Amino acid sequence: MSKILHAVLISGLLVLLCGASVAADAAPPNKPASDTDALQLWQIQRTLASKKYVDLTHEFAPGIPRWPGFPDETRKTIYWYDPPKDVSAAADKRPDTMGSGFFSELFTHVGQWGTHVDPPAHFIRGLRTVDQIDPKEMILPLVVIDVHEEAAKNPDYTLSLDRVKKWEKDHGQIPAGAFVAMRTDWSKRWPDAAKMENKDAKGVVHYPARSLRRATKPPTPIRASPRVKRITRWRLTS
């Protein structure tokens, strides 16, 4: 079920593109569109649909690693396909559900659960919430800085500005507003919370991160999956 929800997020981007095209000209994809912009959107949709997608999200479920201040996820089946097997019963539903005829579940968890987005309002009162972020702000150039070998040797590895500059020397300048991902392979420890925290004998956690002195977050911080640890957007500082 959770994988379906993740797929909806990806599909939603395609729907936005396709929907905008329909609204602009209502022309089917197999006929010429009178609106140039609409035609371009159909072409973009076809291009996106032909590509391979890599899902960086984790399935959410009760018991997955989480901030210790949050309660665990709970699930409950509230509708089930079949009525009670006892045909003589007056009730048309199981006593632990609200009805029958289809399948539906109730999920209860905090907003910052599993793979998620942290809007500015998560930390600073008065700033934007998720619904106030334009979808186009979530479509960004991707840059992956691969430090998984360094992280394997040093669990406290910190991505420095020098390492970012080395990436630019090898691959070219990072585009303005890019989504920069730091690959550590820490995701291979998922969903073992103890391995993710990697505490020492004194209870101190050890895991890779980025240097706060070397980069600052832009107005819209974005948190993604622990599969690629510490994904964020960067603004480099000297």
| pLDDT tens-digit map of 63-83 | 999 999 999 999 999 999 988
In the residue annotation, 122 being an active-site residue is answered as yes
> How many structural domains does the chain have?
3
Interatomic CA distance for residues 70 and 110, integer angstroms: 7
pLDDT(123) > 80:
yes
Q: Which domain holds residue 35?
A: 2-49
Question: Is 27 domain-assigned?
Answer: yes
Statement to judge: residues 154 and 134 lie in one domain: yes
Which SS3 state, helix, strand or coil, does residue 218 take?
coil
Interatomic CA distance for residues 65 and 58, integer angstroms: 11
Statement to judge: residues 42 and 128 lie in one domain: no
DSSP letters of 16-41?
HHHHHHHHHH---TTS--SSHHHHHH
Taking only the tens place, the pLDDT of each residue in 144-157 is 999 999 999 999 99
Q: How far is CA 215 from the centre of its chain?
A: 22
Interatomic CA distance for residues 227 and 52, integer angstroms: 18
Question: Is 69 domain-assigned?
Answer: no
pLDDT confidence of residue 30? 55
Catalytic position from the list 122, 148, 171, 206? 122
Question: Is 64 domain-assigned?
Answer: no
Partnered with residue 80 across adjacent β-strands are 100
Q: Report the 3 state secondary structure along 154-172.
A: CCCCEECHHHHHHHHHHHC
Question: Is 63 domain-assigned?
Answer: no
Model's pTM, two decimal places? 0.67
